[in-house]
Structure 1
Amino acid sequence: MLNNHYILLFVVLNCIYSLNTTTINNNQSIDLSDNGFIYMCGGWDLWDTVFPNCYKYNQQSSVWQSIQSMSIGRDVFSLVSMDSKFYAIGGYNNKGYSFKSVESYDTQTNQWKSIASMNEKRSHHDATVLNNTIYVCGGYSDWNMLKSCEYYLPNIDKWSFTTPLNKVRSSMALVANNGFIYAIGGYDENLASNIMERLDTTTQQWQPMANMSYTRHAFGSASFMNKIYVCGGSGNSDRKSCETYDPKTNQWTQIASMLIGRSGFKLIAFNDKLYALGGHTKDYLLIETVEIYDYKSNQWSYTKSFPTKATGFGATVITKL
């Protein structure tokens, strides 16, 4: 299934890029307070290059600056943070194979370090952090879609399996919110999905929750202001659309749409704003713009452009300790 998907994708890309490569761009100053940094790593250029490069946003100079690269290029992987470190988990190379390897970056020493590998190879998965534990679910192991989940304890450098999802899923979102882990949307071998289930880590049981309004895969997600926000993605006709989930009411509500329809991008919560970073359009044109969502006014606006042209990258935030 994945192999056919990528064959079809490359055919489409050859048609689109045969004349030239179009880039959506916008340049305005970014406005971040002095509370931390946004980090991004890896991704794919929609041709044959999978990047190991990493960048940090420096709010004093209002620029993205290069930091030490990962040991390997990673596409459709997960990047999550705990304390002063962030973790690059799994991913995919340009030859169609998934990784189980994991590496961590220490922002105090500015060095990468290889740590324990996952039990299964994974790409097109997602990861989140709850109670100083990293959880990963779903994705592909090479060409096989997964429903397995595992968790990582940094104090003992060990991955262990936990209760699997109720069905196989890839390109989904995994979000920690109010003491639970939510698995949202994704692709289930046949169709994009709008289903959501919630893991209670005390009982290790998944429970069905309210479905999203739209089917989505390769979309952006974030835990923000005690709610869950999702935007964009493939699998529906409106790639600009956004909605928010309130765990107290178990209901989804539509909010303002993004200015550009995006897939393969990241939605980051930082300094009381949401940031939609990069990605690609439905025509597989890479997007360099960054949009900011102001929840008070329910409006999106453009800000400083992204440091690289890529999709399938990882992004995370580390606040100052």
Structure 2
Amino acid sequence: MIPNGYLFFEDETFLDSTVAKMNALRKSGQFCDVRLQVCGHELMAHRAVLACCSPYLFEIFNSDIEPHGMSHVTFEDLDPEAVEILLNYAYTAQLKADKELVKAVYSAAKKLKMERVKQICGDYLLSKIDSLSAISFRNFASCMGDGRVLTKIDAYIQEHLLEVSEQEDFLKLPRLKLEVMIEDNLSLPSNGKLYSKVLNWVQRCLWENGDKLDKLMEEVQMLYYSADHRLLDCSHIMEDHGVFSAEEDHNQFVQKNPPRENSSVPRLQSTGSSDSTSPSNTPKSCRREWKYIASEKTTNNTYLCLAVLDGVLCVIFLHSRSSPQGSPSATPCLMKSLSFEVPRESEEHPLTSMHYARSGLGTVALHGRLIAAGGYNREECLRTVECYDPKDDCWTFTAPMRTPRARFQMAVLMGQLYVMGGSNGQSDELSAGETYDPLTDTWAQVPELRTNRCNAGVCALDNTLLVVGGSDPCGQKGLKNCDSFDPVTKTWKNCAPLNIRRHQAAVCELGGYLYAIGGAESWNCLNTVERYNPANNTWTLISPMNVARRGAGVGVYEGKLFVVGGFDGSHALRCVEVYDPARNDWRMLGSMTVARSNAGVAVLGNRICAVGGFDGNNFLNTLEVYRPETDAWSDCVVDVGPSEDVCSSP
């Protein structure tokens, strides 16, 4: 072909032919300028090819003092066969490895920073996971520091814990044996909350009392579950008030310095081998991973749990008894609970509350969990971020935001969390935003908004982030301004303005449209609702709500908008209403158990969750859920067995 007078020819066979010839040259050692020494084996290759595939080798070659000479790179910790497989991949784009070599290929790819190969190997291992290999695969993924693979392996273990517990790898894990005494009129909390208390007790033993994990595992530990729902050492039960003061100090310690599952400090997840990096030899300043993974109630009074304690993968056996007499002589016997065959009588337990009371917080659902960030109480704006796992009914901390902020909203865009604007408690509005990467547990700065604002709506739409309305710089009236952020180019642009000035509006996406619901013009609350169409960049007023409100939360479930709580200008609200876009109408639903303005709302499974807020008198840290099938809100979870999910399908 000769388009526009120029000769143009594309040889479809050239690339394959060239690649094959270059690989043949590599294997014969011709024109090679790099020599890899791998555990006594010598592998020849071409520096330019390897530099294109491996960022690790690129850095080495780029720093060579004599770039035109022969490069020598030595690896003492890689499998020569695995490196040969990666060399073949670098030349042919074909990854061929026997199943016995996949882990070695993964390790070599990690060393050479070949991320695509790591992902392929990780996916292969996940496809082969079963109860026999689960612990082995988890130990490997932990050593590799692969959070993505670890999360999926843990999900598998949660579903198959009893089968996994029967395998040899599981039986070899170090184990912590606990005997818990409880009063006759008390019962232990649900699994997630129970093991949150166990992890806190172990942390106190290690961090405050100076105990060592391997010492705790040498014998059965006697504990006491008090009437005020605390887990205490039996040795302290007879002390007057000293134990309670110590426990109160511990609670403050946990709140001020919460252990994070994804810490940035070095951590170990091993099977408990004793070496220089064991927990007993780790300084207190180097706190490693603490994680509840899965648990089962195996008999009426015996529990089995798999957890990571200070970086060590461990089994926890817990036996409860109401009588303080006697002591177990051995680990409780593992058996399948009778409750799997015979229905038990349901027991209600309060849903676990956040560590901090929060109003004006940012809330989203991400990967089946509820994220609650920032907010304010009577004292200050917060940086802390908490994550609620409905399967365990427990809250854990993730990395805090870079800036304390409240009166903002949060959205999920391309797997990342975005917060924009808000107030830091010192200046009226913020222009800065942040984004959170759940894979690395880190926050990063986002280019600033064109206008400082708080109380703005934030929502993801068509792979962009929209910021809608908010308060003016004086905080006296709402704004019509709408801005769109492109996460790829990291640039802002203007969108069509709202029809009505709004701050503290509830904002969400449904069916490819963006909805701005209620809010206030100045301090006059609105019941009006408008919808944004990105196709023609226009806002259109739709049917108004039954109740005017600002500071409401909103969630989307089964193609409808659920608007929750808020403030009507005089009172915090309990009432809830739902919008059906097919009918363009609103109807009232069952009210919440408490009034909540500026609360967080998110949808987990088939449950709508409302958390935090202000009830008119108090700042709240409580959580409640709405069940559409019963049109009722509840602040309790019905404990009907170890597989019950708090906010997901029964």
> TM-score, normalization: structure 2?
0.41
1:265-294 deviation digits (Å, cap 9, x = unpaired): 0111111110011111123x1122211001
Aligned-residue offset at 1:80: 0.8
Q: Give runs of aligned pairs for residues 41-120 of structure 1, distance below 5 A.
A: 41-47=373-379, 49-59=380-390, 61-120=392-451
Give the corresponding residue for 1:161: 494
Give the corresponding residue for 1:295: 628
Q: Secondary structure at the match of 2:376?
A: coil
Give the corresponding residue for 1:258: 592
Q: Would you say the 8 A contact 2:572–2:615 is kept in 1?
A: no
Aligned-residue offset at 1:120: 1.1
Give the corresponding residue for 1:313: none
Aligned-residue offset at 1:77: 1.1
Distance 1:289 1:141, change over 3 A: same
Give the corresponding residue for 1:21: none
Per chain length, whose mean CA-contact separation is higher, i.e. which structure has more relative contact order (CA < 8 Å, sep 6+)?
Answer: 1
Q: Would you say the 8 A contact 2:572–2:616 is kept in 1?
A: no
Distance 1:208 1:61 in 2: 42
Q: Give runs of aligned pairs for residues 147-186 of structure 1, distance below 5 A.
A: 147-186=480-519
Give the corresponding residue for 1:199: 532
Distance 1:35 1:189, change over 3 A: closer
Q: 2:604 is matched by which residue type in structure 1?
A: F
Aligned-residue offset at 1:172: 0.6
Q: 1:28 is matched by which residue type in structure 2?
A: P
Distance 2:434 2:561 in 1: 27
Aligned-residue offset at 1:60: 5.4
Determine which of 125, 133, 137 is the counterpart of 2:464: 133
Q: 1:164 is matched by which residue type in structure 2?
A: P
Distance 1:178 1:222, change over 3 A: same
1:40 matched to 2:372? The reply is yes
Q: Which runs of 5+ in 1 are unaligned?
A: 1-25, 305-321
Aligned-residue offset at 1:59: 4.4
Aligned Cα root-mean-square deviation (Å): 1.9
Distance 2:593 2:426 in 1: 34
> TM-score, normalization: structure 1?
0.81
Q: 1:184 is matched by which residue type in structure 2?
A: I
Q: Would you say the 8 A contact 2:572–2:596 is kept in 1?
A: no
Q: 1:170 is matched by which residue type in structure 2?
A: H
Distance 1:301 1:57 in 2: 17
Aligned-residue offset at 1:168: 1.4
Distance 1:287 1:224, change over 3 A: same
1:245 matched to 2:567? The reply is no
Q: Which of 34-43 and 83-92 deviates more?
A: 34-43
1:252-276 deviation digits (Å, cap 9, x = unpaired): 0111111111101011111111001
Determine which of 28, 36, 39 is the counterpart of 2:350: 28
Aligned-residue offset at 1:115: 1.9
Aligned-residue offset at 1:175: 1.5
Distance 1:27 1:147 in 2: 45
Distance 2:415 2:523 in 1: 40
Q: Would you say the 8 A contact 1:293–1:301 is kept in 2?
A: yes
1:214 matched to 2:547? The reply is yes
Aligned-residue offset at 1:46: 2.4
Q: Secondary structure at the match of 1:129?
A: strand
Distance 1:119 1:238, change over 3 A: closer
Give the corresponding residue for 1:274: 608
Distance 1:52 1:36, change over 3 A: same
Q: 1:230 is matched by which residue type in structure 2?
A: V
Distance 2:389 2:599 in 1: 20
1:79-123 deviation digits (Å, cap 9, x = unpaired): 111233101111102124211111111001111111211111110
Q: 1:179 is matched by which residue type in structure 2?
A: G
Distance 1:240 1:60, change over 3 A: closer
Determine which of 547, 563, 566 is the counterpart of 1:230: 563
Distance 2:632 2:392 in 1: 26
1:164-214 deviation digits (Å, cap 9, x = unpaired): 111211111111111111111001114101001111111111111000000
Q: Secondary structure at the match of 1:38?
A: strand
1:138-179 deviation digits (Å, cap 9, x = unpaired): 111331531100111111111111001112111111111111
Aligned-residue offset at 1:225: 1.2
> Between Structure 1 and Structure 2, which shows a larger proportion of helix residues?
2
Q: Which of 290-299 and 143-152 deviates more?
A: 143-152
Distance 1:190 1:56, change over 3 A: closer
Q: Which of 81-90 and 213-222 deviates more?
A: 81-90
Distance 2:526 2:429 in 1: 23
Q: 2:417 is matched by which residue type in structure 1?
A: F
Q: Tell me which structure has the larger Cα radius of gyration.
A: 2
Distance 1:27 1:124 in 2: 35
Give the corresponding residue for 2:363: none
Distance 1:73 1:133 in 2: 24
Distance 1:271 1:154 in 2: 27
Determine which of 434, 449, 473 is the counterpart of 1:142: 473
Aligned residues: 274
Between the aligned residues of both structures, percent identity stands at 25
Aligned-residue offset at 1:27: 6.2
> Between Structure 1 and Structure 2, which shows a larger proportion of strand residues?
1
Give the corresponding residue for 2:520: 187
Distance 2:455 2:349 in 1: 30
Q: 2:479 is matched by which residue type in structure 1?
A: L
